[in-house]
Amino acid sequence: MKSEVFVVIMAGGVGSRFWPYSRNSRPKQFIDVLGNGKSLLQMTYQRFLPTASKDNILVVTNDSYSDLVKEQLPDINPEHILTEPARRNTAPCIAYAAYKIRKKNPNAVMVVTPADHVIFQEENFTNVIKTATNAAQGSDKLLTVGITPNRPETGYGYIQYINDKSEVKKVKTFTEKPELALAKKFLESGDFVWNAGIFVWSISAIVQSFENSLPDIAEAFAEGNSKYYELDEKTYIDQIYPQCENISIDYGILEKSSEVYVVQGTFDWSDLGSWNSLHEIREKDENDNVVDGQVILGDCRDNIVKSETKRLIVLDNLEGYLVGDFSDVLIVCKKDQDAQFREYVAQAKKLKGDKYL
């Protein structure tokens, strides 16, 4: 079965909610966020080696990051670094990978994963993926991995499923980033999970779904069949990719399909979408502070302090803050204001162009 499984790692995002640590030139998936000597991309690649051979792992990324992928994943087949000339959300990048995989192995099972998630209990994770790939092989099922929620999170998508005893449960509804009151009701009901953005399906099932739900995207990538693994592949992709609809796989396909199923994750997971989520998973001191760099703390609690300069940082009477000291940017703000970071990035661009991005 392992030889039939292909893994597609989506690594094209810019990580604006992690600014100024994550920059356009080196987004968070290429950074050693956890301080363990590995970038999030490298951790994701290694996490899937028990599931698929290295020859069956593909990375979809932006044109400007292809050299970073080659640098960080020297074992990957260069033909399996798929570069996007424009950002068009997840549906086009998944279509590109699916149609290319189909040329090599039309009977393949495809696993799609973001590059920037943190997963603990990796043996449990591998078992969940195995359950999903077994269910997907030779079937029309479109599977997603769901995470049991431990709080009424308003920044995640939710999946409601039919609560039976099977490992693979049929999906009833999708809800994207609910209000707090609704998220609390989801938690109380017991039949909702967070949408981890990890998908599993057979190549035939996802190609058929594109043909049914996003026919223009399907036609564009199907017409490129003779180009895949050839010298003119990139020229073709550069021509058709910017014309693709900018749409997610969730909106474009999953929410339209009656064949969507969920496998519940039995592992600890974070999408690491913000400074606050980094604070949650990092090791903390006795006052719940996360500290990287030369720092002296007085009466400080529940903060994250990150310094990449040689300056000594002295803080007192601070609670719930991010203090980020970088070579060209100093940021001090409440760490849980995720939505504000996009505004900070927009303001920095308006005032200074791309200098600090």
Q: What is the pLDDT of residue 187?
A: 87
Q: What is the pLDDT of residue 1?
A: 67
Contacts 24+ apart (CB under 8 A), 45-49: 45/9, 45/73, 45/76, 47/119, 47/122, 47/125, 47/126, 48/7, 48/9, 48/111, 48/113, 48/129
State the first-to-last Cα distance of the chain, in angstroms, to the nearest integer.
Answer: 43
Domain ranges, ordered by start, for the chain: 5-270, 275-352
- Tell me the pLDDT of the chain averaged across its residues: 92
pLDDT above 80: residue 273? no
Mean pLDDT of 310-328: 94
State the DSSP code for 354.
T
DSSP E strands, 203-352 = 260-265, 269-270, 290-292, 295-297, 300-301, 304-307, 313-315, 318-319, 321-325, 330-334
pTM above 0.75, yes or no: yes
pLDDT above 90: residue 336? no
State the DSSP code for 288.
S
Q: What is the pLDDT of residue 218?
A: 97
Q: What topology is assigned to 5-270 in CATH?
A: Spore Coat Polysaccharide Biosynthesis Protein SpsA; Chain A (3.90.550)
Say how far apart CA 345 and CA 352 lie, in whole Å.
Answer: 10
Q: What is the pLDDT of residue 153?
A: 84
Dump pLDDT digits (tens) for 282-318. Answer: 889 999 999 999 999 999 999 999 998 989 999 999 9
Q: What is the pLDDT of residue 150?
A: 84
Dump pLDDT digits (tens) for 93-118. Answer: 999 999 999 999 999 999 999 999 99
Mean pLDDT of 268-293: 89
Dump pLDDT digits (tens) for 58-81. Answer: 999 999 999 999 999 999 999 999
Strand partners, 112: 8, 199
User: Residue 180 contacts by C-beta under 8 Å, 6 or more apart in sequence?
Assistant: 152, 154
Please say whether the beta carbons of 158 and 131 come within 8 A.
no
pLDDT above 70: residue 164? yes
Mean pLDDT of 193-219: 96
